[in-house]
Amino acid sequence: MDVSRLNRSCLRWSVLTFVSFAAFGWIAPRVDAAGSSKYAHSDSDKRFLHHIDLYDRNNRKISADSTEPYSVEKTCGRCHDFETISHGWHFNAFASEVERQRSNVEASSESQADTDETATNSKSVEQSEKDTEPAKTETVRSDGRPGEPWIWTDARTGTQLPLSYRDWEGRFSPSEIGISTHEMTQKFGARIPGGGVAASWDPNTSELAENSSEPTRWPLTGSLEIDCMACHAKSGAYDFERRRETIEDENFAWAPTAAIRIGEVSGSVSRMKAGVDLEDEKVQAKLPKVQYDDRRFGIDGTVFFDLVRVPENNSCYQCHSQRTVSDSGIDARWNHDQDVHLRAGMKCVDCHRNGIDHQTVRGFEGEQHPAGVAATTLSCRGCHMGVSEFAGEAHSEDHDDALSLTQIAFRAGRLGSPYPQHEGLPPVHFEKLSCTACHSGPIPGEKAIGMMTSLAHGLGEKGHRSGLELPSIQGPVFAKAESNGLVTPHRAMWPAYWGKLVDGKVTPLSPEEVYTNTRRALRVRKDFIEELSEKGREEFDEKVASGLEAIEKTMEVEQAVYVSTGLVFARGDEEGSLVEVEVENRDAVEMVRWPMAHNVRPAGWALGATGCLECHSDDGLVFTSTVTPKGPAPVTAEPINMASIQGLDEATRLEWNQLFGGRKMFKVLTATSLILLLLAIAGSCLPAVRSRTE
C-alpha cells in the first residue's frame, strides 16, 4: 500500500469536508435571517396577553414608585418593530409623503448599491446610482388623493386656515407660514396618534436656528410618541379626553401615561418658560410628575394592558366622526341612520386594513398602496364588483404580490358583499361617476348643508356646540375628484385668514402673531363673528381696517389683507374703510374641498334609485344644488351650482335633459305604435286565413 498516496487522499478529503462545512455554516445563517425576524410573533388569531414591564424615555424600568412617564417606544418597541410601524400613514400626518418616500428610496438605493458592490465588486458607484435612478423616479409618488386639511381656527380673529405638510391644492404649508411643529402638535396633537415630527423633532432644524426669536419648548414638553394604545387598547380602557387635556397642557411626553390611566399626572409645562436650564433642581421640581397606581403593578412588577390586535370602531370614531348641521342646529343622532356597512355588523378595519407597516388602505379607486400590495377589492367598486378581466390583466404583472397568487385581491363579493346589477344603467355612468356619488354622504338638497368633523371641530370633547362654530364646512359638493376625474361628493370650505399682498399674490401670516398684533385693534374677547360681523358691515370695516393697519406697523408688512368668503379686503383711502382687491393666486382664496365616502346609504336611497329623472331633469340635484361661500366676513356671496363646479355647460345640460323629459311618453307611444302595427298586420292576414279555412 502506498502510504504517502493514502495520506494525500485523506488530507484532500479532509480539506474538502472542512470547506463544505464552512461554506454551509456561512450560508445557513444568511438563509435563516432572510426568512425570519428578531421580533417574535404568535401567528394566532387570538389576542396576546400583555403583562409587560414599563420603561421610561431613558430606557429605565418603571416601578410603582417611579415619577417619570412611560415611553411607548421603549416599552412596546422591545417586542414590536417600532421602526417599521412608525412609517404608517397615521403617524406621518405632519410629514410629507413625498419626502418620506424619497428618503426610503434613497436608503434603498444605498443599500442596493452596497449589496451589488459586495456581491460582484465590479460595478462603480456611478453605475449603481444610474441603475437605481429609474426605481427612484417610479417609487417617489405624489402625496396621494387630497384629504381633510388641518384647519387652524381662531374665533378671536375670524381665522379658518387650511394647512397641510402634503402638497395638496388649496392647503398652506405650516412651515412656510411660520407655524412651528411644536405649535401644530399642541393645536392638533389630540387628533393624531403621535409620531412624525411630533415624536422625533430635530434640534438642528431651521425652526430651532440660532436666529430664532424664541427658544424652543421641545426640551420641556418632550416628544409626542406614537401611542399604540390609542388604537389597540380595549374599548373603554383608553381615555381620549385625558390625553387631549394633557397635550393642551404641553405635557406631550406624559400623554400616553395619562390616557391609559395607570397613573395621575400633576404639573403643567404650559406654565413654564422656555429656555430654562433642565439641569437646575428648581426646574426639575416644576416638571410634571407621575404618581402611578400601585394596584396596576403585579408582584413581578409588570402591568396588564388589555389590548386587541384589530382596532375597534370606538378608536376610529375619536378622529373620524361627523355630524350634519341644518338651519335649526346640529341634527339629532336619533333621527339619522348609520353607515349601511356598520349596520351590517362590519368594522372600520374590514375595509381600511394594514399590515405591520401600518400603511392603512384608504379605499379610494386607483389607490397606489405604499406597501406595494393589491388593495383593489378594498374599494367600493372592487369589493362589490371585483376587477374585470381587462383590469386584471393590468395587475397580472404583480408576481411578487402574495394576494395576486390567490386572486383574493381581484374577486367580487369580498366579505359577502352583494353584486350590484345596476339594471338599465348605461355603462357610461361608471366612466363619469364614482360609487360614492350616488351612494355616500348626506342626501343632497337644494343647497349644501353644514357639516362638522372630529378633526376640524374636536368632536368627542365634551362641550356645548351650536353648529355655527368655525370652521364653516359644507357638503355634499359634487365635483370631479383630482385623482381620477370622476364626479365625487366632497366637503368644502372657504379659507379665512390675515395675510400680506406681495406682487399681486396673497400669503397667510402666522395666526398667533396676528392675534398678538391685532388684539388691541380688534378688541374681540371671544368671537369675531358675534362681536364684529353680526354688528354690521360698518363695524366690520372699521375694526378690520384698524387690524390691518396694526399688522402693517408692527409686523413690517407693506400691505396687509384679510381673506374671507372668496374675497380679499385691504385698507381703503378713507380711514376705517375697506376695499376689495384682486389677487393672482386665486387658489389661495377660493373653495378648498376634499372627498368624502361615509356614511354609505343603502341601494334604495342611492341617487337614481327612483329613475333617470332624479338626476336628468332640469332640477336634478346632482347638478342644480348649490353651495354658497361662507366665512366670518358679513358679506352675501352668490350661490354656485354643482354643474358649474363640474365644468358643465348649462345650455347643453338642459338640452340633454329634454331627451329624458319625454322618455316616458316616448315609451308609451312606442308601445302603442307596436300594438297598432300588430293589430294592422293581424287584420291584413285575417281574410287570407278565412279563405283558407273555407
Give the DSSP letter string of 430-482: HHHB-HHHHHBSSPP-SB-EEEEEHHHH-TTS-----S-PSS-EEEEEEEE-T
d(CA 547, CA 291): 47
What pLDDT is recorded for position 425? 86
Q: Is the pLDDT of residue 400 over 90?
A: no
Q: Is the pLDDT of residue 482 over 80?
A: yes
Closest CA to 646 of 626, 673, 670: 626
d(CA 388, CA 200): 44
Using CA of residue 417, residue 423, residue 424, residue 427, what is the dihedral sign?
positive
Closest CA to 493 of 549, 523, 455: 455
Poorest-pLDDT segment among 393-397, 453-457, 475-479, 668-672: 393-397
Confidence of residue 117 (pLDDT cuts 50, 70, 90): low
Query: C-alpha distances in angstroms, 667 versus 208, 426, 677?
Result: 74, 17, 15
Q: How much of the chain exceeds pLDDT 90, in percent?
A: 52
Mean pLDDT computed over every residue of the chain: 83
Give pTM, 2 decimals: 0.83
Residues sharing a CB contact under 8 Å with residue 283, sequence separation 6 or more, in sequence order: 272, 276, 277
Cis? peptide before 657, omega within 30° of 0: no
Long-range contact pairs involving 173-182 (C-beta distance under 8 Å, separation at least 24): 174/150, 175/206, 175/207, 177/507, 177/508, 177/509, 177/510, 178/509, 178/510, 178/513, 179/152, 179/510, 179/511, 179/512, 180/207, 180/216, 181/94, 181/205, 181/207, 182/207, 182/216, 182/217, 182/218, 182/221
d(CA 197, CA 224): 9
Poorest-pLDDT segment among 111-125, 268-282, 324-338: 111-125
Beta bridge partners of 266: 289
Confidence of residue 338 (pLDDT cuts 50, 70, 90): confident
What pLDDT is recorded for position 522? 95
Q: Which residue has the higher pLDDT, 338 or 163?
A: 163
633-649 residue pLDDT tens: 999 999 999 999 999 88
d(CA 559, CA 562): 10
Confidence of residue 135 (pLDDT cuts 50, 70, 90): very low
What pLDDT is recorded for position 474? 97
Q: Is the pLDDT of residue 138 over 60?
A: no
Q: Which residue has the higher pLDDT, 369 or 56?
A: 56
Q: Which residue has the higher pLDDT, 93 or 478?
A: 478
What pLDDT is recorded for position 388? 58
Question: What's the grid cell of residue 230?
Answer: 390609542
Q: How much of the chain exceeds pLDDT 70, in percent?
A: 80
Confidence of residue 207 (pLDDT cuts 50, 70, 90): very low
Closest CA to 145 of 350, 355, 365: 365
Within 10 angstroms of residue 681's Cβ, the number of other Cβ atoms is: 10
- Residue 148 C-alpha from the chain's centroid: 6
89 dihedral zone (left: phi>0; alpha: psi -120 to 50; beta)? alpha
Spell out a b/e string for 252-291, using b for 16 or more CB atoms within 10 Å of the CB, else e.
bbbbbbbbbebbebebbbeebeeeeeeeeeeeeebbbbbe
Q: Maximum distance among all alpha carbons in the chain?
A: 126
Average pLDDT over residues 208-217: 61
Residues sharing a CB contact under 8 Å with residue 562, sequence separation 6 or more, in sequence order: 158, 496, 497, 498, 499, 544, 547, 548, 568, 569, 578, 633
Query: C-alpha distances in angstroms, 106 versus 87, 356, 453?
Result: 15, 22, 37
Residues sharing a CB contact under 8 Å with residue 661, sequence separation 6 or more, in sequence order: 613, 617, 618
Using CA of residue 195, residue 197, residue 202, residue 203, what is the dihedral sign?
negative
Average pLDDT over residues 599-611: 89
What pLDDT is recorded for position 206? 44
- First-residue to last-residue Cα distance in the chain: 126
d(CA 367, CA 505): 34
What pLDDT is recorded for position 1? 46
CB burial of residue 437 (10 Å; 0-12, 13-18, 19+):
buried
Confidence of residue 427 (pLDDT cuts 50, 70, 90): confident
Q: Is the pLDDT of residue 525 over 50?
A: yes
Average pLDDT over residues 474-501: 94
Q: Is the pLDDT of residue 233 over 90?
A: yes
Closest CA to 175 of 143, 197, 145: 197
CB burial of residue 485 (10 Å; 0-12, 13-18, 19+):
exposed
Confidence of residue 133 (pLDDT cuts 50, 70, 90): very low
Helical segments of 268-369, H only: 281-286, 313-320, 340-343, 348-351
Q: Is the pLDDT of residue 126 over 60?
A: no
